Amino acid sequence: MQEELPPEMAQELLRQVFDLWINPEVVRRQAEGGLTAPVDLISAQVIFHSERPLEVRLNHEVKAIAEVRLNQSVAQDEPITVGNVVQVLGIDLTEDDADSAHITLIRNGSDEWTLSFNAGYNRGKAKVLLAIATEYVEVAEHALQKGFHRSFVDNLYSAVELAAKGRLILIPNPRMLTAKSHGYIVTNFNIFGGKLGNVDRSHVKLVNELSALRSRAKYGIDRFIIEPQSAEAMLRGGREMIEAIQGAL
């Protein structure tokens, strides 16, 4: 969920970030003797943790992976300075902060700030859920090829439910992190996607369709067959849903 803003909005957000978090942190540290004045800031970061207070990092404390364009060639083990950076192309967090939202600022050699923010929490956990969901999709496809329609439905439902949970935990909700109830996950995904329109409505429809089929497929004793065209469409929809949610990370 890397956000890109128009220049005017980015400039206003930059001002607010300094006013709300960075400048007060600089003042606090100076008052405590941890910083001298003036402060030459080349980078700053606001980390929004889901289960503890936010953290403001300055200069060398910033932990991020940045893609930059340089004004000269630099050896692999040679340090890069602000003066080398012509343009910051992209910023992301390291694995240490994979489950936190963030605002990261990096100054280039022209004294221009690049601001990057990602409002998603628990992205590391979501990636794990999506990896498991992908496994279930592969099993579902194998079951379909063997003509095991009940197993196909059960496994594909598990895949889309895990994917739905992966999307939902990007918003802080301690209960969703530990949720194992099918009804709770499906209901929240319907609200989040169906009513609020935050995800493709076809993905909400697929979750609901498989949820309705799952009980009959798993516990019913009557003949259970899904038409090949419908099954292939659901399988394709499951893969697309996982890819879309991966793109939201």
3-state secondary structure of 96: helix
Alpha helices in 110-227 (DSSP H): 123-146, 149-168, 174-178, 182-189, 201-219
Q: Is the four-CA dihedral 220, 183, 51, 121 of positive or negative sign?
A: positive
Residue ranges matching CATH 1.20.120.330 in the chain? 123-247
Amino acid at 30: Q
Give 228's pLDDT tier (boundaries 50, 70, 90).
very high
Q: Is the pLDDT of residue 4 over 70?
A: no
How much is the pLDDT for 38?
86
> What is the fold, at CATH topology level, of the domain defined by 123-247?
Four Helix Bundle (Hemerythrin (Met), subunit A) (1.20.120)
Say what the pLDDT of residue 212 is.
93
Position 87 scores a pLDDT of 76
- Strand (E) or helix (H) holding 103: strand 101-107
Over residues 93-147, the pLDDT tens digits come to: 898 998 999 999 988 777 888 888 888 899 999 999 999 999 999 999 999 999 9
Question: In terms of pTM, does the model score above 0.85?
Answer: no
Could you tell me the end-to-end alpha-carbon distance of the chain, in angstroms, rounded to an integer? 5
Q: Is the pLDDT of residue 230 over 90?
A: yes
Question: Mean of the per-residue pLDDT values for the chain?
Answer: 89
172-181 long-range contacts, CB within 8 A, separation 24+? 172/50, 172/121, 172/122, 174/51, 177/122, 177/125
Q: What is the CA radius of gyration of the chain?
A: 23
